[in-house]
């Protein structure tokens, strides 16, 4: 029974990722799974690890967020075993995504990251996407990690204003 439950948790994660056309964060997926009481946090982290090492999902870590996407192999596996997911769980996924999809899309479409360069400066990479299109990508070089971190935090809330300003000034 434990193995069957673990397989079901994997299928639920794959199903969730398959129903969106953008990556989901660890916390977004965890929020759904834990809120519904399907499993506990530690088991879910093992599910992510198994799916990732099995090539069924990919992960990308940006700053303190891990983004997951389903792979072609994950889609094939899901479609072969989708009948193992109850209609109730599928309804839960659809309902949950209907309520949260726009906020989730917005959350993962705004990206920021920084890294230390050999000379001691920091490179800050910022982007804003709409669906599969990069609307803006900026790279800034700054002298300290404190500034780099501040820029990344502010980008999340101010990217629309900055994009609008740039287009107005350059158009």
Domain-terminating residue out of 89, 108, 127: 108
pTM above 0.75, yes or no: no
Structure confidence at residue 2 (pLDDT):
42
Q: Is 17 found in the same domain as 100? A: yes
Q: Is 45 found in the same domain as 19? A: yes
Structure confidence at residue 69 (pLDDT):
93
For the record, the structure tokens of 101 come out as: 């999809």
Q: Is 30 found in the same domain as 76? A: yes
Structure confidence at residue 104 (pLDDT):
79
> Does residue 1 carry a pLDDT above 60?
no
DSSP for 18-63 reads HT-SS-EEHHHHHHHHHHTTSS-HHHHHHHHHHHHHTTSEEEEEET
Domain-terminating residue out of 79, 108, 137: 108
> Does residue 44 carry a pLDDT above 90?
yes
Structure confidence at residue 131 (pLDDT):
63
Q: Is 91 found in the same domain as 140? A: no
For the record, the structure tokens of 29 come out as: 């997926």
Task: Tell me the torsion sign for CA atoms 78, 36, 130, 113.
Answer: negative
Structural domain count of the chain:
2
Residue 150 CA from chain centroid, whole number:
21
Domain-terminating residue out of 74, 91, 108: 108
Q: Is 61 found in the same domain as 121? A: no
What is the rounded average pLDDT for all residues in the chain?
89
How much of the chain exceeds pLDDT 70, in percent? 96
Q: Is 9 found in the same domain as 80? A: yes
Closest to 75 (Cα-Cα) out of 3, 20, 33: 20
Q: Is 67 found in the same domain as 56? A: yes
Domain enclosing residue 148, as ranges: 109-170
Assign 90 a pLDDT band (cuts: 50, 70, 90). Answer: very high
Q: Taking the C-alpha atoms of 15, 19, 25 and 29 in order, what is their torsion angle to the nearest 10 degrees?
A: -40
Residue 89 belongs to a domain with what CATH number?
1.10.10.10
Kindly report, residue by residue over 17-40, the tens digit of the pLDDT: 999 988 898 989 999 999 999 999
Kindly report, residue by residue over 119-133, the tens digit of the pLDDT: 999 999 998 877 667
């Amino acid at each position: 029974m434990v193995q069957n439950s673990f397989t079901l948790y994997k299928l639920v994660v794959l199903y969730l990722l398959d129903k969106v056309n953008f990556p989901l964060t660890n916390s977004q997926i965890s929020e759904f799974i834990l809120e519904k009481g399907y499993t506990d946090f530690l088991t879910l982290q093992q599910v992510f690890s198994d799916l990732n090492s099995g090539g069924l999902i990919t992960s990308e870590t940006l700053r303190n967020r891990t983004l997951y996407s389903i792979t072609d192999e994950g889609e094939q596996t899901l479609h072969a075993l989708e009948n193992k997911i109850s209609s109730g769980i599928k309804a839960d996924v659809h309902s949950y995504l209907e309520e949260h999809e726009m906020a989730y899309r917005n959350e993962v479409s705004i990206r920021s990251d920084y890294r230390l360069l050999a000379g001691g400066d920091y490179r800050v990479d910022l982007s804003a996407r709409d669906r599969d299109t990069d609307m803006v990508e900026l790279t800034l070089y700054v002298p300290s990690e404190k500034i780099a971190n501040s820029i990344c935090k502010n980008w999340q809330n101010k990217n629309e204003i900055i994009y609008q300003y740039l287009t107005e000034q350059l158009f």
